[in-house]
A and B are shown apart, each in its own frame.
Chain A
Amino acid sequence: MLYRGRHHSQLFAHETEILMTSNRPHPSALELYRTMLVIRVVEERLAKSHQRGLIPGACHTYVGQEAIATGVCAHLRKEDAIFSTHRGHGHALAKGLPPRELMAELYGRQTGCSRGRGGSMHLFAPEIGMLGTSGIVGPCILQATGAGYSFKLMKTDHVGVAFFGDGAVNNGAFHEGLNMASIWKLPVLFVCENNQFATEVPFESVSGNPSISARGAAYGMPAVTLDGNDVLAVEAAAAEALIRARSGGGPTLLECKTYRTRPHSEGMGDFTYRTKEDVERWKTLCPIKRFKESLLKQNHATASQLEKIEKEVDALAEDAHQFAEASPYPSAESATQNVYAPARIGPPRDVPKPPASSRPLSFMKATLEALSEAMDADPKIFVLGEGIGVRGGNFATTSGLFAKHGPERLRDTPICERGFVGLACGAAMSGTRPVVDFMFADFVLDAAGEIINQIAKIQYMSSGRLTMPVLLRGCIGIGHAAATHHSGSYYAMYANFPGLRVVVPSNPRDAKGLLKTALTCGDPVLFLEHRELMATKGEVPEEEYYIDFGRAAVVCEGEHVTVVALALMVHKTLAAIELLAAEGISVELIDPRTVAPLDTETILRSVAKTGRLLIVDEAFAPFGVGAEIAAHIADTGFDELDAPIRRLNGKSSPTPYSAPLEAAVVPNTESIAEAIRDLCAE
């Protein structure tokens, strides 16, 4: 072998006798046998149920790979967190998920571990440290890294474990996750189950270097290739890696060579990409059969002992099936529950009126104050980003905090947006409150999958048993000759996805109150700060205060027309209002402050007064905030309208650089005033 991990020689020693006598905790051989058998028998039962039509969706079995989940999980505690893939039945069962809950989940029942929301590919059982399986390849690596970050920050000796296939190692998440785990010496175990096919593509055909463990060296990480069908080899390697992780030695990569002897998914053809002979040959290497023979041969168990276990397991699988089939389906009303964390109980909170005392602060200083107060109050808050440590942030968003809280809570990251956003997701799932400071909103688009597929959906997928307190902050907006990769707004895109809160403040006072709320709520929040507002000043109350999401501000009252505007457009509209006052046009200006949730009630109330609505939005018009507001008001306020609803948007084009070009794509005071005049004449 050309490439070897540093600890290769130690970990590769898998002679049963040596390991069974070495100085470490040993799982019971019968327990290992039992666990593998549970996985096998339950999945064979699932395959039958799939044929019978009891499983409405996909069913990805783990048959042939049972030794890996069993060997690793034998050394895990309930508090350790595992993250897995679309092929996760075995991991869930090995971590302790009762077979009843697995089967009920695949049957789509209320008693399933994900309450019928996930099926085969989306299993959640946070109660036993099973933090989820995912239908997307890669995120589990980043999430396990995030769990490792949480455990380290909270000074526990728990470990984050990622199970993933060979398909994931050619994905960016592998590179980004392993690198971060290595540089911060996180307690993480990366378990690659190399079953030689990424779905149906042979791994060797898509890998420049087909040795996975060799890649450990690239990240300065111990790595080893194992016989993944040898449960004792796996448990021995895992035991050592876990001792390393728990004692601060950092992560380990295990490459477990194995083979899946059933199709990628039940009911799919299997012999277009591999041969029957190959499959039959691997069946003879069945980890369960091998282990049984070895136990009997070496007199670690008697035939009757094993037979008793086999009978128990058969009964367990049958019971699970009976239970699942008899379980009720979830109620249709529950279909949209747990998209967000439970609402805060108590009276609505807003800017104190009047504040006891206030002082002028810049937008940036106001948010820094909010973050600083929150970090003092909550030791689970940590910040991730590029240059947010010693430097204090590109926009001074963390100025002075590093000196106070140190590098673990103000973590400078590599430039790997997907990686650290995925890490934040795993951290939030495992009990901490990450703040991702992504500088410019354009940058974080690389992490869109992590935000949209993972962060936004996990509260729902876990039926509310996990919360997702992630704050994703950064700046948006046109106006500083930064062209198209530093000027985007994107809030409409995020507001489109259930599960996300999207905050777009327009002044220091609101920014502080909203950020305080964002840092205490259970939902993921996109906190988008307009670049042109960061230096602007405004009065900020001295006393502590919070502003709830979904409460629009009536910036100024008026009679003739309602204008809704966000962020910088609030200020441009105020200037236009001043112009129009001389012409006798009286404008009511509403700042929604949060795009999701959107306070349509306040807008409707205003339109009921004025009969006219203009939405001024710097972002693009198509499918945007204006379209959403317009549709809502046309629906609920049709009879209030005395004129068509109008939108004034930035031009639907990438943002150009040159000043006259840049000015041409964004609304200004004059164009806003003209749009208001025009609407009033309708």
Chain B
Amino acid sequence: MEEGTFLEWLKKTGDFVNEGDPLFTLESDKAAQEVESTDSGILELLPDGPKPGAVIKVGAILAYLLAEGEPPQALDATPETTSLTPPVVYSQGAASVHSAKPVAVDATKATTTATTASPRARRAALATGVDLATVTPTGKSGRIRERDVLDASSKKRLPSVGWVDVPVTATRRIIAEKLERSVSQTVPVTITGRCDASAMVLFRNQLKAGDATPLPSFNDIILKIAAGVLKAHPNLTGRWAGTSIQLPDAIDIGFAVETEDGLVVPVLRDPGSLRLSEISRRSKQLIDAARNRRITSQETKDGCFTITSLGSFGIDTFTPVIQFPETAILGVGTITRVAVPLEDGSFASREQLPLSLTFDHRALDGAPAARFLQTLRRRLENPTAWI
């Protein structure tokens, strides 16, 4: 991680900050997170410090932690040469204290980088509507060049006339890049099927009637059951590595959460070994963290399978995109009541759940994927046996 989008301070100038206190929130490539202080002192924010939405580099000076009675550093024109006060800097995952001098140099560099673009690049930015603040410079002196703007513009594919340019968040950019990578580097095939979810609906209604706290969602149930099925179908949990497939030693399953900034995929560790109530509790926590931009990168990495649901939107089947470098993703549709013909010619009213499985054809063929989906369907139709 080299940079992130600054979101907000959690403390203000004059607050005493203890080591370990959450200091500010930052949106990184995966998610928003709270950054903790690694030192103590009285916080002094800089007048030209980061504003919400600003991209900051690792190592940039954001503020100072002052000792009791120490004069404010912001008044000093050259704090890096006249004071040994440790600055608050953003480093990997935490606010940390460095010796002032080298860090200040990094900060200067970061400032220059953010503001320099060639005249031609500026003109291209005007013509294409690209916001230079969102462009990654590739010039050897840190200058944004025309090609950088055109690259950024081609990613946007927005005609310049009659369209309003809305900058995207770092999260959105990361999502876009990951999806692009997935589609360009895998051979995705989607198969769909339906299962009878009447038993599952009944089961959940029973929990509800018994005031189960927390009440597991359908997704929690599917997660629990899918973990078990994946144990028997490890080829859906591997990572394609060209000459081999890397298999995980634990079945950690990600589940997609919609947030204001876009899709976040927290990973639930080994749900197969957890009780349903525990799964439910943890998934709620993760969803909460994701929606409040507090999810950490630790909590979003190393999944081996993903479940995504559009069940609450009346969606039937769809073609989910594999969370690269995983091999498969399960799309959960909306449970609908249907009339099912019985053997005696009469019809029964049943709850039906559509499932969409996208898998990387490089790693496995259609039949084993279909077999996995078949097993999953059967278990979901009789969930209590597998929970």
Residues of B within 8 A of A201 (CB): none
* Minimum Cβ distance to chain A for residue B116 (Å): 11
Q: Is the CB of A681 within 8 A of B123?
A: no
Q: Is the CB of A643 within 8 A of B123?
A: no
Segment with Cβ contacts to B, from A322-330, A355-363, A501-509, A634-642 = A634-642
Residues of A within 8 A of B146 (CB): 611, 642
Chain B 121-144 interface 0/1 with A at a Cβ cutoff of 8 Å (1 = within): 111000000000000000111010
Give the docked Cα–Cα distance between A643 and B140 (Å).
Answer: 10
Partner among B120, B140, B141 whose Cβ is within 8 Å of the Cβ of A642? B120
* Minimum Cβ distance to chain A for residue B27 (Å): 31
Q: Is the CB of B139 within 8 A of A639?
A: no
Question: Counting CB contacts under 8 A, is B119 at the interface?
Answer: yes
Partner among A638, A641, A682 whose Cβ is within 8 Å of the Cβ of B141? A682
Q: Is the CB of A681 within 8 A of B120?
A: no
Residues of B within 8 A of A682 (CB): 139-141, 143, 145
* Minimum Cβ distance to chain A for residue B138 (Å): 9
Give the docked Cα–Cα distance between A641 and B119 (Å).
Answer: 6
Residues of B within 8 A of A611 (CB): 118, 120, 145-146
Give the docked Cα–Cα distance between A642 and B140 (Å).
Answer: 12
Residues of A within 8 A of B119 (CB): 638-642
Q: Can you list 30 residue pairs at the A/B interface with Cβ under 8 Å?
A: A611-B118, A611-B120, A611-B146, A638-B119, A639-B119, A639-B120, A639-B122, A639-B123, A640-B119, A640-B120, A641-B118, A641-B119, A641-B120, A642-B118, A642-B119, A642-B120, A642-B121, A642-B145, A642-B147, A643-B118, A643-B139, A643-B143, A643-B145, A681-B139, A681-B140, A682-B139, A682-B140, A682-B141, A682-B143, A682-B145
* Minimum Cβ distance to chain A for residue B273 (Å): 53
- Measured CB to CB, the residues of B under 8 A from A are 118-123, 139-141, 143, 145-147
Closest 10 CB pairs of A and B: A642-B120, A681-B140, A642-B118, A639-B123, A642-B146, A611-B120, A639-B119, A641-B119, A638-B119, A642-B145
* Minimum Cβ distance to chain A for residue B140 (Å): 4
Give the docked Cα–Cα distance between A638 and B121 (Å).
Answer: 11
Q: Which A115-140 residues have C-beta < 8 A from chain B?
A: none
Give the total of A residues in contact with B, Cβ under 8 Å.
9
Give the docked Cα–Cα distance between A681 and B140 (Å).
Answer: 6
* Minimum Cβ distance to chain B for residue A384 (Å): 50
Q: A611-B120, A681-B140, A682-B143 are in contact. List 11 more A-B contacts (CB 8 A).
A: A611-B118, A611-B145, A639-B120, A639-B122, A640-B120, A641-B119, A642-B118, A642-B119, A642-B121, A642-B147, A682-B141
* Minimum Cβ distance to chain B for residue A200 (Å): 57
Closest to B149 in A: A642
Give the docked Cα–Cα distance between A638 and B118 (Å).
Answer: 9
Residues of B within 8 A of A641 (CB): 118-120
Residues of A within 8 A of B123 (CB): 639
Closest to A642 in B: B120
Q: Which A610-658 residues have C-beta < 8 A from chain B?
A: 611, 638-643
* Minimum Cβ distance to chain A for residue B142 (Å): 10
Give the docked Cα–Cα distance between A129 and B211 (Å).
Answer: 122
Residues of A within 8 A of B145 (CB): 611, 642-643, 682
* Minimum Cβ distance to chain A for residue B222 (Å): 51
Give the docked Cα–Cα distance between A643 and B147 (Å).
Answer: 12
* Minimum Cβ distance to chain B for residue A379 (Å): 55
Give the docked Cα–Cα distance between A640 and B140 (Å).
Answer: 19
Give the docked Cα–Cα distance between A643 and B121 (Å).
Answer: 9
Closest to B120 in A: A642
Give the docked Cα–Cα distance between A611 and B119 (Å).
Answer: 9
Give the docked Cα–Cα distance between A682 and B120 (Å).
Answer: 13
Residues of A within 8 A of B140 (CB): 681-682
* Minimum Cβ distance to chain A for residue B64 (Å): 35
Residues of A within 8 A of B141 (CB): 682
Give the docked Cα–Cα distance between A272 and B318 (Å).
Answer: 109
Closest to A682 in B: B139
Residues of A within 8 A of B147 (CB): 642
Residues of B within 8 A of A639 (CB): 119-120, 122-123
* Minimum Cβ distance to chain B for residue A315 (Å): 68
Give the docked Cα–Cα distance between A682 and B116 (Å).
Answer: 12
* Minimum Cβ distance to chain A for residue B261 (Å): 33
Give the docked Cα–Cα distance between A640 and B122 (Å).
Answer: 10
* Minimum Cβ distance to chain A for residue B150 (Å): 11
* Minimum Cβ distance to chain B for residue A130 (Å): 54
Residues of A within 8 A of B122 (CB): 639
Residues of B within 8 A of A638 (CB): 119
Residues of B within 8 A of A681 (CB): 139-140
Give the docked Cα–Cα distance between A643 and B146 (Å).
Answer: 9
Give the docked Cα–Cα distance between A545 and B11 (Å).
Answer: 81
Give the docked Cα–Cα distance between A682 and B148 (Å).
Answer: 12
Instruction: From B118, B123, B139, B140, name the one whose CB has the most chain A CB atoms within 10 angstroms.
Output: B118
Give the docked Cα–Cα distance between A83 and B121 (Å).
Answer: 60
